[in-house]
Amino acid sequence: MRPLNRRAGLLLGGAAIAGLPFAHDARAEDDNAIPLDTVTISATRTQGAAVDALASESVVTDEVVKLQEASRISDVLRSVPGVAVQEVADSPAAAINIRGLQGFGRVAVTIDGARQNFQASGHSLGDGSFFFEPEFLDTATIVRGPVANLYGSGAIGGVVSFETKRPSTFLEEGQRWALESFSQYDTNNGFALGLTGARRFTDTFSALGGVVYRNNWNYEDGNGDQVFNSGNEIAAGLLKAEVDPGNGHSLVLGAVTNYSEYRSGDPASTNYDNEVADNTLTATYRFQSPDHDWLDFAVSTYWTNTDLDQTYLTGALAGNDRNFRIDTVGFDVNNTARFDTGILEHALTVGTDAFFDDVEVTDAVGTGALFTPNGERTVYGAFVQDAVGYSDWLEVIGALRFDGYDLDGGGNSSSGQRVSPKITVGVSPFETTTLHGIQLYSTYAEGYRAPSITETLIAGTHPFPAFDILPNPDLRPETAHTIEAGLNVSRDDLFAAGDRLRMKAAVFRNDVDDFIDIGVVPCPGFCMQYQNIANARIEGVELEINYDAGWAFVGIAGQHQRGEDRQTGAPLDSIPADKLVTTLGFRALEDKAIFGIQWEAVAAQDRVTVTPPSDAYNVVNLFADYSPRDDLTLGLNVDNLFNEDYTPYLDSDPSAGLAVKFTLRTRLGG
What are the helix (H) ranges across 318-359? none
CB < 8 Å & 24+ apart, contacts of 427-436: 427/393, 427/394, 427/395, 428/392, 428/393, 428/394, 429/393, 431/392, 431/393, 436/491
What does the pLDDT look like over 382-422, one tens digit per residue?
Answer: 999 999 999 989 999 999 999 999 999 888 888 999 999 99
Question: 29 pLDDT exceeds 90?
Answer: no
Other C-beta atoms closer than 10 Å to the C-beta of 648 total 23
Coil/strand/helix, residue 14: helix
Alpha carbon separation from 419 to 281, 403, 473, 501 (Å, rounded) = 30, 6, 22, 39
**Region of residue 663 (left: phi > 0; alpha: psi -120 to 50; beta: else):** beta
Higher-scoring residue by pLDDT: 156, 123: 156
**Region of residue 220 (left: phi > 0; alpha: psi -120 to 50; beta: else):** beta
- The whole-angstrom separation of Cα 67 and Cα 596 is 10
* DSSP character string of 653-670: SPPP--EEEEEEEEEEE-
Of 204, 306, 223, 233, the closest CA to residue 4 belongs to: 233
CB < 8 Å & 24+ apart, contacts of 242-249: 242/166, 242/167, 242/168, 242/205, 242/206, 242/207, 243/204, 243/205, 244/204, 244/205, 244/206, 245/204, 246/204, 247/290, 248/287, 248/288, 248/289, 248/290, 249/285, 249/286, 249/287
* DSSP character string of 456-522: HH--EEETTTTEEEE--TTPPPEEEEEEEEEEEEEEESSSSTT-EEEEEEEEEEEEEEEEEEEEEE-
Find the CATH number of the domain harbouring 540. 2.40.170.20
What does the pLDDT look like over 357-371, one tens digit per residue?
Answer: 999 999 998 888 888
Cross-strand partners of 664: 183, 634
What does the pLDDT look like over 440-449, one tens digit per residue?
Answer: 999 999 999 9
Of 121, 117, 91, the closest CA to residue 106 belongs to: 117
Helices (H) and strands (E) in the chain, counts: 6, 33
What does the pLDDT look like over 191-249, one tens digit per residue?
Answer: 999 999 999 999 999 999 999 999 999 999 999 999 999 999 999 999 999 999 999 99
- Residue type (1 letter), 229: N
How, if at all, do strands 593-602 and 617-629 pair? antiparallel
Q: 296, 262 in Cβ contact below 8 A?
A: no
Q: 222, 149 in Cβ contact below 8 A?
A: no
- The whole-angstrom separation of Cα 200 and Cα 174 is 10
What does the pLDDT look like over 325-342, one tens digit per residue?
Answer: 999 999 999 999 999 999
Q: 134, 75 in Cβ contact below 8 A?
A: yes
- The whole-angstrom separation of Cα 124 and Cα 272 is 12
**Region of residue 522 (left: phi > 0; alpha: psi -120 to 50; beta: else):** beta
* DSSP character string of 179-190: EEEEEEEETTTE
Q: 441, 393 in Cβ contact below 8 A?
A: no
Give the residue numbers spanning the domain of 370.
4-669
- Residue type (1 letter), 96: I
Give me the percent of the chain exceeding a pLDDT of 90: 75
**Total structural domains within the chain:** 1
Structure confidence at residue 12 as a pLDDT band (50, 70, 90): very low
Predicted local confidence at residue 524, as pLDDT: 81
Question: 550 pLDDT exceeds 80?
Answer: yes
